[in-house]
Structure 1
Amino acid sequence: MKKLAFLFPGQGAQSVGMGKEMAEQYPQAAEVFKRADAALGFSLSDIIWNGPEDELRLTYYTQPAILTTSIALLEVLKVEGIKPSAVAGHSLGEYSALVSAGAMTFEDAVRVVHARGKFMDEAVPAGLGAMSAVMGADRELILKICQEVSQSHGPVELANVNSPGQVVISGKAEAVAEAGRVLKENKGKVTPLVVSGPFHSSLMQPAADQLAAVLQGIAIQDAQVPVIANVTAKPVQTGAEIRDSLTRQVSSSVLWEDSILTMKNDLGIETFVEIGPGKVLFNLLKRIDKTVQGYLINSPETYAATVAALKGETTTC
């Protein structure tokens, strides 16, 4: 089998009902949802499976919900004995990656991301921050414009570097708007995002400080396989490295394009499997590098197809 990496999605991949079919068919998945409910002290599974959507979209429910669904799918896959050479997750998904690598327990992770969601939601008063997606513009140009606008309008920064031609900017609302205006003049396509805060910008530092205190209170072990950190796009493996990168991640850029290229070019990864709701990372993969093979596991159907493909059969998803 070719060298394999597991990828785990972040916020935005959620949908009411996610993971329910897997839980109904596989006891390993059902058990993860039960463990989440017990760890949090309320029925997260009810919010995930029954909504309403407005409630699931609340950051402090979305984050543990996506983590729980991703780990439920992972637990089913473990039965097949398929193991990765490296793992990575997009923003929140980095916690799923760390659980998969044995660096933290699922229970600790689900409690931490529930708190992380609250901290991020409360860090900046409503309306003061904003985020926009920028398509079709060079990363260096976006960075240059953000730096120039920041000098006069307040902070606006690169939040997510997702793939060539797809970057998200984040920061003070008026600065994000001004950067968007300038980028449009430079033929960039700018789309404001409906979000509750300026995530992955320096305005999130209060949330990072609160999260640091929570992370000090849990055990973080050395990872069993390299985990590619969002903040550096480089492998981290020791508990100290992981704790530091998770703290910095809240107020730093998610270097997703760079992370995929690190796994391919430095670690020799040829096959990537997205494990979790949706298929955001699966879609980004081909924009980053058309030569790699991508699969996804988000339902009983995609699970069966992916396992068959990874075991060398002809079925693909």
Structure 2
Amino acid sequence: MCETKLSEKHKFDNENIRGRKIGYIYAGQGSQVPHMGLDFYNSSISAKKFYDSVDKSLDLKRLSFEADEDELVKTENTQVVLIGFQVMLTKLFNENNIVPNAVCGLSIGEYGALYCSGVLNEEDVLKISKFRGTEMSKCSEGINTEMYAIINSSEQYINAVLEIYNSTEKFVQISNINSKEQIVISGDKDVLEKVKLHLKKDGVRYIKLKVSGAFHTAYMDRAAESLEKYFKTIEFSEPKIPVYYNVTGSKEDEGNIKNLMVKQVKSTVRFEDDIKNMIEDGIDLFIEIGFNNIIKKIVRKINSNVQVISISSYEDFKDLVEKFYE
């Protein structure tokens, strides 16, 4: 159980937790904040032991607790910090015998899901996250790309618009299908300017995102090639808990998880399908492992009736454990 006395008043009075079919959702890039995990480090013996024991070459503790927003937002830093937080919190849940019925993750968060399900061990998932972030950052060098969220549109309409302006050398693709209300596109800035004018003419809203890399598009081909080679040195085990994958939008792993994770970095993230399929398979309570309620907001747009609990602080964690054992 938790190492410190649980609070008398918790945040989840209206949530029944024990006996529910729980799905963990591991957040992706954009959910990072400076000092993430520091309150766990200062409050939990297990969390402190984890951060103190991580390979010093990853610089995880300094990046997590001391890096400012400008340093943390760099892809090569963001991804290892997010996975570090997710591994730490998963370990704490396991210590308290809270285990999900299924897991998924958004982009880099999918590696948190693979750790939780037993596909990857702690050492390997941290090394992969650092390697992946570095390789994705390299792919963004020397090209001028941006990302935009398109509001209340359809995959078919967006692809039709992109086809008008794309060329072999410069293009824009769909990066994420998060919900029926939010589809993310990314790619060449010049092409995006033309696409934005088209969208504006059609009365379609869009919002610029604070991510410059054209993630989950063919601009990440070199990162995919690097991951494919790197994965030859890593053992992937069979999942002990069902994983819903970004590439397929389901728990179908095509018989090769490594191949899926290579494809993932350069392919559309079908997060909406992941959530819909988890709900269809009986998941009725989601636990978001990430900050700023980003996942919670997306999930509620997919299904407004589903319950989502977000865990971003040690107080959140204590409250959930307390409620679980009532």
- Return the TM-score normalized by structure 2: 0.89
* 183-192 or 225-234: bigger deviation: 183-192
Structure of higher RCO (CA pairs closer than 8 Å, 6+ residues apart):
2
3-state DSSP of counterpart to 2:92: helix
Q: Which residue pairs with 2:260 in the alignment?
A: 245
Report how far residue 278 of structure 1 moved.
3.3
Within the alignment, does 1:294 sit opposite 2:312 as a pair?
A: no
Q: Which residue pairs with 1:6 in the alignment?
A: 24
> C-alpha offsets along residues 28-84 of structure 1, whole Å, 9 cap, x if unaligned?
222222233x1x515321121111221111111110000001111121111221111
Distance 1:269 1:71 in 2: 22
Aligned partners of 2:93 and 2:99 also within 8 Å = no
3-state DSSP of counterpart to 1:162: strand
Specify the code of the residue in structure 2 equivalent to 1:76.
L
> C-alpha offsets along residues 283-311 of structure 1, whole Å, 9 cap, x if unaligned?
21111101211111111221123234444
Q: Which residue pairs with 1:149 in the alignment?
A: 165
Within the alignment, does 1:280 sit opposite 2:298 as a pair?
A: no
Report how far residue 277 of structure 1 moved.
3.2
Within the alignment, does 1:23 sit opposite 2:37 as a pair?
A: no
Within the alignment, does 1:231 sit opposite 2:247 as a pair?
A: yes
Q: Which residue pairs with 2:6 in the alignment?
A: none
3-state DSSP of counterpart to 1:7: strand
Distance 2:143 2:221 in 1: 17
Q: 1:260 to 1:42 in 2, by over 3 A?
A: closer
Specify the code of the residue in structure 1 equivalent to 2:251.
P
Aligned partners of 1:3 and 1:85 also within 8 Å = yes
Distance 1:310 1:167 in 2: 35
Report how far residue 169 of structure 1 moved.
0.1
3-state DSSP of counterpart to 1:200: coil
> C-alpha offsets along residues 93-116 of structure 1, whole Å, 9 cap, x if unaligned?
000000000101111111111111
Q: Which residue pairs with 2:5 in the alignment?
A: none
Question: Which residue among 61, 77, 89 is the counterpart of 1:73?
Answer: 89
Specify the code of the residue in structure 1 equivalent to 2:216.
H
3-state DSSP of counterpart to 2:158: helix
Question: Which residue among 219, 227, 235 is the counterpart of 2:235?
Answer: 219
Q: 1:42 to 1:234 in 2, by over 3 A?
A: closer
> C-alpha offsets along residues 192-246 of structure 1, whole Å, 9 cap, x if unaligned?
23323211111111111011111111010001011111011111468x5210111
Question: Which residue among 15, 18, 34 is the counterpart of 2:52?
Answer: 34
Specify the code of the residue in structure 2 equivalent to 1:68.
G
Report how far residue 25 of structure 1 moved.
1.1
- Return the TM-score normalized by structure 1: 0.91
Q: 1:151 to 1:52 in 2, by over 3 A?
A: closer
Distance 1:294 1:210 in 2: 36
Aligned partners of 1:4 and 1:269 also within 8 Å = yes
Question: Which residue among 208, 224, 228 is the counterpart of 1:192?
Answer: 208
> C-alpha offsets along residues 260-300 of structure 1, whole Å, 9 cap, x if unaligned?
001011x2111110123332111211111012111111112
3-state DSSP of counterpart to 2:310: strand
Report how far residue 149 of structure 1 moved.
2.3
Question: Which residue among 161, 169, 177 is the counterpart of 1:161?
Answer: 177
3-state DSSP of counterpart to 1:209: helix
3-state DSSP of counterpart to 1:224: coil
3-state DSSP of counterpart to 1:18: coil
Q: Which residue pairs with 2:63 in the alignment?
A: 47
Aligned partners of 2:117 and 2:241 also within 8 Å = yes
3-state DSSP of counterpart to 2:30: coil
Specify the code of the residue in structure 1 equivalent to 2:53.
R
Report how far residue 127 of structure 1 moved.
4.0
Aligned partners of 1:126 and 1:196 also within 8 Å = no
* 76-85 or 9-18: bigger deviation: 76-85
3-state DSSP of counterpart to 2:256: helix
Alignment RMSD (CA, Å): 1.8
Report how far residue 155 of structure 1 moved.
2.0
3-state DSSP of counterpart to 2:266: coil
Unaligned runs of 5+ in 1: none
Question: Which residue among 184, 189, 193 is the counterpart of 1:173?
Answer: 189
Q: Which residue pairs with 1:271 in the alignment?
A: 285
Q: 1:187 to 1:32 in 2, by over 3 A?
A: farther
Q: Percent identity?
A: 28
Within the alignment, does 1:208 sit opposite 2:224 as a pair?
A: yes
